Amino acid sequence: MQIHRPSEERGRADFGWLDSRHSFSFGQYHDENHMGFGALRVINEDRVAPGAGFGTHPHRDMEILTYVVEGALEHKDSIGTGSVIRPGDLQRMSAGTGIRHSEYNHARDAPVHFLQIWILPERNGLEPGYEQKSFPPEIRDGRLVLLGSRDGRDGSVTIHQDVALYGALLKPEASVSHVLAEGRKAWLQLVRGTVSVNGQTLAAGDGLGIETLGPLAIEAQENAEFLLFDLAA
């Protein structure tokens, strides 16, 4: 079974300084049919105006991933971490028993475009933590690259949940494949471009949930960028 989540059907919050699209229920947007997908709880596509951002606020018991598409996002938190997240970077913040952080557009003259992803942790009460790694375009060009995993293998960011997160960049007519094993399901979030997944066409911002075992054939019709979550069913 495949669950197509078209970009234009996502929830939206527009505060002037922030334009946010919600693949799943979040904040004031609530849809009983889109509460998450397995341990994947939030995918928000955010665009923040120059010089603006999210002031210091709390989180707990959540794995929070930040993936920047364009621009730069400045992060500061209560465990002493400060960094700038740029395209190709993946940041993981484990909120655990409690953490406070802020996120601001690092630039004064251009917006920042990024995905914020929340994943339920394997257990509550983890020690708060942070990790950030870079995955340059050249290593993601034409192939699936492991960006995040439960055990941090192959240089990926460690996510405290049974999930493998892959990323890829594809040129027109290029393709990659991924096999869903027994007891697994997948969510593909298309960041840019157009692709087909086992015959289903996706446009930028679309998501696709896949619950059918076997190979996934992902082919680009134009330059494309996407994230693929392999999750416990």
CA 98 to CA 114: how far, in whole Å?
23
Summarize the confidence of residues 58-85 as an average pLDDT.
93
Q: Where are the domains of the chain?
A: 10-135, 138-232
Residue 105 pLDDT > 90: yes
Assign 139 to helix, strand or coil.
helix
Kindly report the CATH number that applies to the domain delimited by 138-232: 2.60.120.10
Summarize the confidence of residues 11-30 as an average pLDDT.
96
Place of tokens 């946010």: 20
The rounded Cα 69 to chain-centroid distance in angstroms is 10
Radius of gyration from C-alpha coordinates of the chain: 17
Residue 89 pLDDT > 90: yes
Q: Determine whether 189 is exposed, middle or buried from the number of CB atoms within 10 Å of its CB (0-12, 13-18, 19+).
A: buried
Q: Letter for the amino acid at 179?
A: V
Q: What is the pLDDT, as a whole number, of residue 206?
A: 98
CA 148 to CA 232: how far, in whole Å?
15
Place of tokens 């606020």: 57
Q: With beta carbons less than 8 A apart as the criterion, state whether 43 and 24 touch.
A: yes
**Model pLDDT for residues 120-155, shown as the tens digit of each residue:** 999 999 999 999 999 999 999 999 999 999 999 999
The more confident residue out of 114 and 78 is 114
Summarize the confidence of residues 86-108 as an average pLDDT.
94
Q: How confident is the model at residue 77 (pLDDT cuts 50, 70, 90)?
A: confident
Q: How confident is the model at residue 32 (pLDDT cuts 50, 70, 90)?
A: very high
* Cα first-last separation, the chain: 13
Residue 208 pLDDT > 90: yes
Q: What is the pLDDT, as a whole number, of residue 81?
A: 83
Q: Do domains 10-135 and 138-232 have the same CATH topology?
A: yes
Q: Which of 92, 75, 164, 167 is nearest to 128 (CA)?
A: 92
Integer angstrom CA distances of residue 34 from 12, 26, 42: 14, 10, 10
Kindly report the CATH number that applies to the domain delimited by 10-135: 2.60.120.10
Q: Mean pLDDT for the chain?
A: 96
Q: How confident is the model at residue 1 (pLDDT cuts 50, 70, 90)?
A: confident
- Return the minimum-mean-pLDDT range out of 70-84, 190-204, 219-233: 70-84
pLDDT cut 70: percent of the chain above it? 100
Q: What is the pLDDT, as a whole number, of residue 67?
A: 98
